[in-house]
Amino acid sequence: MQKEQTLVSILMGSQSDYETLNEASAVLGQFAIPHEVRVISAHRTPEAAREFALSAEERGVKLIIAGAGKAAHLAGVLASMTLLPVIGVPMKTSDLGGLDSLLSTVQMPGGIPVATVAIGSAGAKNAALLAVAILALNNPDLRARLAAYREAMTRAVEKSDAEIQALPRPGA
Ligand code: RP5
């Protein structure tokens, strides 16, 4: 069977980022978006980062999700070498709680944008959902699945609300 065209590349700076970035992969999987997951570091494997960025578009990739921690320049370095949209996920870190990664990823000087999401697993999940929303611009079927996902979230909150309201509340 022929492998489907990879639409989204998820990159991480280190294997230690895997658990977090795997959450992005899980969301893309839920939406059946063909994607790849790679470990490529802007400072430990700069040549591989360059080669990846320069060839991604011609391989048919539409979006890059790049997660890195500490002096997290992976997303910005990739964005500097491709016209593809790059979504940056700042990793939580032991020293500064991820504020280091957040600022390194989000504070791109004007000219080369990185769409930066929240620190850690919420960010990884949202990076994938943002990728889905962008791909859905040209894909009505995917758009319908994204709408259904949101609808399910709304129903889940309504269910929680009903359950909490039904709890006995002495004195109320
Ligand atoms: C970054 O440095 C990686 O993205 C990772 O978040 C951080 C620490 O990497 P390790 O020392 O755990 O490999 O390049």
Question: In the predicted model, what is the mean pLDDT of residues 65-78?
Answer: 98
Question: In the predicted model, what is the mean pLDDT of residues 17-29?
Answer: 98
Q: How many domains does the chain divide into?
A: 2
Residues 97 and 156 in one domain: no
Residues near ligand 1 (Cβ within 6 A): 12-14, 16-17, 41, 68-70, 91
Residue 168 confidence (pLDDT): 96
* pLDDT above 90 for 167: yes
Question: In the predicted model, what is the mean pLDDT of residues 13-35?
Answer: 98
Whether 38 and 12 have beta carbons less than 8 Å apart is answered as yes
Quick one: pLDDT band at residue 47, thresholds 50, 70, 90? very high
CATH number at residue 65: 3.40.50.1970
Question: In the predicted model, what is the mean pLDDT of residues 42-69?
Answer: 98
Residues 69 and 117 in one domain: yes
Out of 19, 20, 70, give the residue to mutate to test ligand 1, the one with the largest number of ligand atoms within 8 Å of its CB. Answer: 70
Residues 84 and 58 in one domain: yes
Within a domain: 172: no
Give the 3-state secondary structure of the chain: CCCCCCCEEEEECCHHHHHHHHHHHHHHHHCCCCEEEEECCCCCCHHHHHHHHHHHHHHCCCEEEEEECCCCCHHHHHHCCCCCCEEEEECCCCCCCCHHHHHHHHCCCCCCCCEECCCHHHHHHHHHHHHHHHHHCCCHHHHHHHHHHHHHHHHHHHHHHHHHHCCCCCCC
Residues 99 and 160 in one domain: no
Q: Please give the share of the chain, as a percent, with pLDDT higher than 70.
A: 99
Residues 58 and 107 in one domain: yes
Residue 156 confidence (pLDDT): 98
Residues 23 and 93 in one domain: yes
Out of 11, 12, 14, give the residue to mutate to test ligand 1, the one with the largest number of ligand atoms within 8 Å of its CB. Answer: 14
Residue 1 confidence (pLDDT): 62
Give the pLDDT confidence of 88-144 residue by residue, as tens digits.
Answer: 999 999 999 999 999 999 999 999 999 999 999 999 999 999 999 999 999 999 999
Residue 172 confidence (pLDDT): 78
What is the Cα–Cα distance from 128 to 71, expressed in whole angstroms? 22
Residues 87 and 69 in one domain: yes
Question: In the predicted model, what is the mean pLDDT of residues 141-151?
Answer: 98
Residues 163 and 98 in one domain: no
Centre of ligand 1 from the C-alpha of residue 100, in Å = 12
Q: Whose CA is nearest to atom 7 of ligand 1?
A: 69
Residues 28 and 49 in one domain: yes
Within a domain: 2: no
